[in-house]
Structure 1
Amino acid sequence: MSNKPFVLLGKVIPLGKRTVLDLEVAKLHTRTTVKVPIIIERSNNPGPVVLLLAGIHGDETNGVGIIREIINLKINKPKTGTIICIPVFNIFGYLIQTREFPDGRDLNRMFPGSAGGSLASQFAYQFTKEIAPIVDYVIDFHTGGGDRDNIAQIRCSKEDEKALELAKVFNPPMIVFSENITKSLRDTLHKMGKTVLLFEGGKSKELSPTIINEGVNGTKNVLIRLGLIEGDITVKATPVFVHKAKWIRSSDSGMFKIRVANGSFVKKREVLGVIQDPFGEFKKKIYAPFDCHIFCINKTPIVNKGDALFHVSVEE
């Protein structure tokens, strides 16, 4: 263990105490300062630093709900090491329930950021410079965008053995193999040598008790495995591994009626949904093109031809 003081945002974080800091992002045009609260729980004993982060997209409230519940249950109070919670990262988007930053940019495509770039880029840069270097592990909580509803899942790269091991410990219903996206938070942290789990669950602008429960239980499992908290790891079932995926798209425009449950396994030619017109004259069934697991459903009531409707596994 290093004898160097634990410093975050220019403040020395004491042992064995809860510390709340504010990451100052910018001022609104009314001159009101916008601050992102950062909750640090540091034990008296040495150990890894884990960051739990949600709301990088401001309308993805399930992740905010997960971290809120983790704090409420005091799961973030470690016996060893340090747990940092950032329940609402994109505070701008959260305030008005939009995905983007006020400059219209997706914050999760702006890392590592720039000191002289756009507002989103400057914010990403501040995080990359001030917070990212001191953490060892990160769980980044997301939901589906818009009306896309994700089954609870962890996304990680096949080649990232440490992340894959922790993904199994998290024990979500599904583990989806996906490569890091350039300029995303996950890609930047991975390049810095950090171990990152990306949780996806539910859809934007909702607080799903099922998804929140999955996120809380999985995080608890990871914190137990890393030795930060005490307890027994809970294993509900073996996760389904999605090695390759494909979107099933709408063949027509119309009203969309879903006929299958998210997370289910379907056989080839099974009816997944129906597209129909509002006048009772047109009805088109959507069939499974092959045997597959469904891990995301677009729950929008009206679809256009070509819209992505079901994200499914391509079984090998």
Structure 2
Amino acid sequence: MTDPAVSCSIDLAAPGKQIGHLAFPKITNTAGWASTYVHIGSVARGEGPTVLVLAGNHGDEYEGQVAAMRLLQELQPEQVHGRVIVVPVLSKAASKANTRNWPSGANFNRSFPGRPDGPPNEQLADYLTRVLFPLADVVIDMHSGGRSAWFIPCSHMHVVADPVQRKAMLEGMEAWLSDWHFLYIDVNGTGLLPVEAENQGKIVITTELGGGGRVPAPVHRLAWSGLNNVLRHVGVLEGEVQTRASLGKPPAVILDGRNPDTIVLAPEDGMFEALYEPGDPVSEGDPVGRLWFVDRPDRPPELIRAPMDGVVAVTKAIPVTEQGDCVFVLGVPIDRSALL
């Protein structure tokens, strides 16, 4: 097996707090021998689980990146039982450019399992697949809707086949203490980071923390409080584990988005007007949005209707719409017992 193309500047087996970088080859017009740096940190003490905290999988999803950078600043070894490894910004160039994809056009979340002799995104994916995931008991991958979509702030999960893994992931998802949770499926190809970690048997906890090009203060608070409570829940961080009941909150709502028909696409180019906000209930046939036509102001808007009863989970944040763009996603409330 070929060695990974990525090197790590810190000793991931060592105790204490370290912050360094991953490096992989880069050739540019200004440097024939260079490296791309992706920063990594480790905070470790004694026995306990290893938790891998990841953010910036997509560059324009900043909610998790801020929480992960704060975690690296504030977390100290005396608070830890085990090890927390943090990669706060996986797609650094995309993060700086405020784009979903890498400058090459690569979608990092479709790059797994990767390969050491592939392009840079696959080299980094290979390192996660063959080095970081095997070290971890729990993988946290924080997402949002990015610039293009507003996703109801939630933690979410795949419904994996193994019942023990599924139960642990369900409980981890719930430990984020968001008002909503979402069950998702793979769309638009394979190669997702969470799926690779799941296939290795890891407890995978993921989020969709808003989006739309702005991070409201309550979403920053949810990203931070949820991340810390999940770390306490899995036993790597000292402190009392909170529940929604202990906070005086009602049970969260789990939305099932596993039916592909919940994902609604634009039938043609236009300008999308959302008529409902994420969290709003709708009935089958309700107009959830209107598509207006810039070059045809004489033409009435096209109504885009709900294909079923449910709750709006996602709405397009950018009005300019191309044919085939996702304009909204529904979720159908489901009882947690159905997942056990």
Structure 1 length-normalised TM: 0.85
Distance across 1 between alignment mates of 2:207 and 2:327: 21
Aligned to 1:18: 17
Is this contact kept in 2: 1:263–1:293, CA < 8 A? yes
Question: Could you say if the C-alpha distance between residues 121 and 86 of structure 1 is closer, same or farther in structure 2, counting changes exceeding 3 Å?
Answer: same
User: Quick check: 1:290 aligned with 2:299?
Assistant: no
1:240 to 242, 248, 253: 253
Is this contact kept in 2: 1:143–1:203, CA < 8 A? yes
Aligned to 2:3: none
1:275 to 291, 294, 299: 291
Alpha carbon RMSD of aligned pairs, Å? 2.7
Question: Could you say if the C-alpha distance between residues 21 and 210 of structure 1 is closer, same or farther in structure 2, counting changes exceeding 3 Å?
Answer: same
1:206 to 214, 229, 246: 214
Is this contact kept in 1: 2:12–2:42, CA < 8 A? no
Secondary structure of the 2:175 match is helix
The 5 Å alignment of 1:1-316 reads 11=11, 13-15=13-15, 17-29=16-28, 30-31=30-31, 32-43=34-45, 45-74=46-75, 78-158=79-159, 159=161, 160-179=166-185, 182-203=190-211, 205-227=213-235, 228-235=237-244, 236-243=249-256, 244-245=258-259, 246-251=262-267, 253-278=269-294, 279=297, 282-314=300-332
CA deviation digits over 1:179-198, x for unaligned, max 9? 46742211211222211112
Identity of aligned residues (%): 25
Secondary structure of the 1:150 match is strand
Is this contact kept in 2: 1:61–1:204, CA < 8 A? no
Distance across 1 between alignment mates of 2:66 and 2:242: 22
Please, which runs of 5 or more residues in structure 1 have no aligned partner?
1-7
The one-letter code of the counterpart of 1:202 is G
Question: Could you say if the C-alpha distance between residues 290 and 13 of structure 1 is closer, same or farther in structure 2, counting changes exceeding 3 Å?
Answer: closer
Is this contact kept in 1: 2:264–2:329, CA < 8 A? yes
The CA deviation at 1:287 is: 3.9
Is this contact kept in 2: 1:56–1:90, CA < 8 A? yes
Question: Could you say if the C-alpha distance between residues 37 and 18 of structure 1 is closer, same or farther in structure 2, counting changes exceeding 3 Å?
Answer: same
The one-letter code of the counterpart of 1:155 is H
Q: Which moved more, 1:275-284 or 1:55-64?
A: 275-284
The one-letter code of the counterpart of 1:26 is P
Is this contact kept in 1: 2:212–2:318, CA < 8 A? no
Distance across 2 between alignment mates of 1:154 and 1:116: 34
Question: Could you say if the C-alpha distance between residues 33 and 304 of structure 1 is closer, same or farther in structure 2, counting changes exceeding 3 Å?
Answer: closer
Q: Which moved more, 1:48-57 or 1:163-172?
A: 163-172
Is this contact kept in 2: 1:291–1:315, CA < 8 A? no
Structure 2 length-normalised TM: 0.79
